[in-house]
Amino acid sequence: MYEKSEDKKTIRSELVGMLIATGITTMLVVGGVLSFILFRWSAITLKDDMNSDIESIQQQFTNHLLFWEESVIYLSENSEMEEFFRDGLTDGVEQVLEQGINLFSNQNMVSETYPIVSDYYVFNKNMQYVGMHYYPETQSAKNRKNKRILDGIKRYKEQNQKFYYRTNGQQIECYFSVYDADLERRGYCVAIFDMNNIEKIFAKLSKYETYYWSIQSNGGMTIGGTGLNGISRSDLVNTEGIVKKEHKAYLYKVCQNSFGLSTYILIPKTKMYLNIRPGFRMAWAISVSMFLAVIVAVLWYSRRITYPIQSIIKKIEQVGTGDFETKLENYNIEEFQQISDSFNDMTLKIDHLIKEVYENQILVKEARLQYLQAQINPHFMFNVLTMIAFRVKRHHDEELYQMVTSFAGLMRGKLFRKNEVEIKLEEEMKIVGFYLYLQGERFKDIITYSIFWESEELKECFVPRLCIEPIVENAVIHGVEPKGTEGKIDVSVIKVSRNMIKVIVEDDGVGFDVDHMDDKKNNMNPRVGVMNIQRLIRNLYGEEYGIKTISELGKGTIVEVCLPMKKDKTI
């Protein structure tokens, strides 16, 4: 009897050791390579991303300033405002201002409840003024604000500057003039904006943790912001770039805005790498996951090598007990696979002789019986309908005869020609006519219909069987029938081009919202049948053919079926 030597290594232990060493090496190499690639890629792209974020914030602020610019143009060109500036007529001026300078417009709002400009005043040369306010105010507060604004206008005149800014807490007052086409001063304007709301624009840079921004006038006055962390305007010689201060590098961007304003944004360059951290963690997480996957693979493969012998012994014991259905699985090792094939062939032959031949014969007989029943029942039904039609004909009931023959024709087209993929369009339209006739008789004087052929040659075209009838059925069931009143269905067959025809099904029913047609989750959804027809048409003829649906609630639906103009079958 063979005794296991302690000096010998097993295949399993050797394989486990080799694969674990491979897994550790793979983890270190993949982790290091991914980290290096990620850092190099990030260093190239993140600077551009940061510049893009800064530019986006400045552009948003610039877009809000367009509200002021458009207001100045409006005041300069409006004829009713001209009477206010020239003659001091204030009647209706407030309504004119509200129409042209809407403080509630999206252009003035940072979000739904935070405006940039909260108050707007217009003065003529005689110091008559009209004001607009976003927030409601008490009369006493309004009087105090008006007094302050009048004082600001006086100081603005004394300054003799194009723009004059004055702070009042977190409110910034901007004083400027309105000119006519000849650059003659017509009057004065005051816009009061809220720095708290402007800060919400720049707060989008908070993802970089540390950032600095400032809004300054051309005269050097700081309007608002966090400040530039000790960096002066003279240090920012270009509109964008990198500036160093106390051994720290900052990315900056300067934007010259309207109304004598400039915006400055600085972000420490080191903050550019914040987004790399998740990437590094992901890289090492992937490496560790690969290592764990290798360990699992090692254990699985080592078991896979020693498992076949145990499995073969177990299966042989099962055959010995009379279980001839047992089988050996497939193996990747050739010798084991040869044993498995021979064993399975042996048990298959035994099982076939004892059991499977007898059972298969019974299954074949049952299948043949079911097939014959499926063939007999539809033909029996059609024969009965034909017999009823002839008897009705003998009794001279033409209307009932027409209904029975139409129903028989409809059943023949839908049930007895399942093996035909394509039929002539004339035959398809006969099925449509049978269905519409029956529905017209069912809903007497309510449903009317028409079938129009542009030319006789179109009748010879081959189309998929039942590609039009289900669409007409949808028009009746989901369009005209729910309407509850008189409705009409028109079916037209026209030639679009040398290679294309179009079948148009139009109804004046209740219509539907095409965008929400998929909301119906049951089998009554008309889109299910339409999409099946769509797939069949495109599989047979190509993507340029198919179904287009146009519908409007309360007005009706138009379904256009584009088909190739072909006089022979595709399959």
pLDDT tens digits for 108-159? 888 888 999 999 999 988 888 888 888 888 999 889 999 999 999 999 988 8
Q: What local confidence, expressed as pLDDT, does residue 380 receive?
A: 43
Q: What is the mean pLDDT of residues 8-22?
A: 66
For residue 246, give every residue at least 6 positions away whose Cβ sits within 8 Å of its Cβ, in sequence order, or none: 230
Which position has the token pair 């207001």?
71
507 CA to centre of own chain: 31
Q: What is the mean pLDDT of residues 387-395?
A: 58
Which position has the token pair 């519908």?
551
| Ranges 192-196, 270-274, 385-389: which has the least confidence | 385-389
Q: With b meaning 16 or more CB within 10 Å and e meaning fewer, what string describes 136-157?
A: eeeeeeeeebeebbeebbeebe
Please state, in angstroms and rounded to a whole number, the distance separating the CA atoms of residues 9 and 57.
Answer: 68
For 166, left (φ over 0), alpha (ψ -120 to 50), or beta? beta
| Ranges 111-120, 365-374, 408-417, 460-469: which has the least confidence | 365-374
List the beta bridge partners of residue 255: 263
Please state, in angstroms and rounded to a whole number, the distance separating the CA atoms of residues 38 and 42.
Answer: 6
Cα-based distances in Å from 61 to 64, 222, 249, 251, 332: 5, 16, 25, 19, 67
- 373 has pLDDT over 60: no
Residues 445-474 have pLDDT tens digits of 788 999 999 999 999 999 988 889 889 989
Residues 529-554 have pLDDT tens digits of 788 888 889 888 889 999 999 999 98
List the beta bridge partners of residue 263: 215, 255
Beta strand pairing status for 261-268 and 212-217? antiparallel
- State the DSSP H helix or E strand holding residue 511, giving kind and residue range, or none if neither: none
Please state, in angstroms and rounded to a whole number, the distance separating the CA atoms of residues 270 and 301.
Answer: 47
Q: What local confidence, expressed as pLDDT, does residue 113 receive?
A: 84
Considering only CA atoms, give the Rg of the chain.
42
- Model confidence at 414, pLDDT cuts 50, 70, 90, reads low
Cα-based distances in Å from 120 to 136, 214, 321: 13, 24, 99
Handedness of CA 381, 382, 383, 387 (dihedral sign): positive
